[in-house]
Amino acid sequence: MNREQRIKAALKSQDVDRVPVSIWMHFSDVDQDPRALAETQVEFAKKYDYDYIKLMPFGTYTIQDWGARIKIYCDKYKEPIVEDTGIKKISDWQNLEVLPAIYGTWGKQLQMCQHVSRLAGKEIPFIQTIFSPFTVANKLAGSKLFEDIKTDPKAVHQALEVITQTNLNFIKANIEAGVSGFFFATQNASYDVNDEAVFEEFCVPYDLKVFDAYKDETYFNVSHIHGDNIMFDKIEAYPGNCLNWHDRHTEPDFKEARKRTDKCFLGGIMEVPYFVDGVLRYNSIMASSTPEEIEKHVHEAIAQVDGKGLILGPGCVTDPKTSEENLFAVRKATESYKY
């Protein structure tokens, strides 16, 4: 099977010659240059013989054009962080304007996608990273978002419409560029950071508008649920055909999740990033283990679902300090598993 055939079969829970796999991480030393980032990601996938590319724009690309100040290090081990939010008062929400896909930092991520398309072509499936409108609003305003929901929900709804439309413009342009699908990341579908009433009113309607823009246009559409104590069933109900969460760190694990859905899972490799004083740290199997331990870890993940409906990858972004031998090991483990 080639890479695309293997991915498509896994998404449908059909037989595969081996479970497809890839690793993604921040390439923070090059992620301000769309061409360099594209070249780095394609070279990375080819070097380790991975089956797909999850495009890795830096995590705050969605908010810089709306006034957030981002501290950029251009350091492989220090990801850009929000130095100052873009929302200071209620009227700032009302001043947000819909952006075209070619504008500013959004446009750079589109260029990156276009470069990957030229370099990878049909050889390697690739998916663009997008964030839920509420996640973007939270990155843009920080904790003030939840204060403003209480004081002026209309202003927040207006802003979410603007963010959603900007996402739709970006999605359309990425589809035209040849993307295989989208990695839809929500960082607010967790009972630790949100409640059901807010989620239902301020997240679901906008999330579904985003999904409607591509669910029938692309074939590899992942829903990523970030954090602990997640709203698994709510995101599972979204139209994406593949689910990604911290399955080796928080409930449900693959066995329990398989009882609740027959959708494809993307994950199985424990990577848990967290911020300490603004710097991203990792609880990482990939960076802290031996190749033999990686192989055992991968085999355990495959066995949980009998190798069906599974695409291997990290539960979240991988520690960039991971060694080459471990990056090779995770791919080799898919060959050594006794199917």
The per-residue pLDDT for range 222-256, each reduced to its tens digit, is: 999 999 999 999 999 999 999 999 999 999 999 99
The strand pair at 53-54 and 126-131 is best described as parallel
Alpha carbon distance 115, 34 (integer Å): 8
Residue 276 confidence (pLDDT):
82
CA atoms lying within 13 Å on the CB side of residue 206: 25
DSSP conformation class of 243: E
CA angle at residue 278 from 327 to 58, to 5 degrees? 50
Question: What angle is formed at CA 222 by the lines to CA 218 and CA 223, rounded to 5 degrees?
Answer: 130
In this structure, what DSSP letter does residue 165 have?
Answer: H
Cα pseudo-dihedral 33, 34, 39, 44, rounded to 10? 90
3-state class percentages of the chain: helix first, strand second, coil last, to nearest 5: 45, 15, 40
Q: pLDDT band at residue 131, thresholds of 50, 70 and 90?
A: very high
Residue 279 counted as domain residue = no
Q: How far is CA 102 from CA 33, 167, 241, in A?
A: 15, 12, 28
| 20 inside domain | no
2 falls within a domain: no
Q: What's the chain's average pLDDT?
A: 97
Give the pLDDT band of residue 122 (cuts 50, 70, 90). confident
290 in a structural domain:
no
Q: Is residue 107 part of a domain?
A: yes
Q: Are strands 310-314 and 264-269 parallel, antiparallel or unpaired?
A: parallel
Question: Per the structure, how many domains does the chain have?
Answer: 1
Closest-CA residue to 280 (of 16, 37, 6, 59): 59
Q: Which domain holds residue 69?
A: 28-264
Does residue 254 belong to any structural domain of this protein?
yes
Residue 13 falls inside a structural domain? no
CATH number at residue 127: 3.20.20.210
pLDDT, one tens digit per residue, over 281-323 is 899 999 999 999 999 999 999 999 999 999 999 999 999 999 9
* Helix, strand or coil, per DSSP, at residue 72: coil
Of 197, 8, 40, nearest in space to 116 by CA: 40
What is the distance between the alpha carbons of residues 49 and 322, in angstroms, rounded to a whole number?
A: 16
Q: What distances in angstroms separate CA 105 from CA 40, 158, 223, 299, one per listed residue?
A: 19, 22, 23, 39
Q: What is the pLDDT of residue 221?
A: 98
- Chain centre to alpha carbon of residue 270: 15
Predicted pLDDT at 259: 97
Domain membership of residue 154 (yes or no) is yes
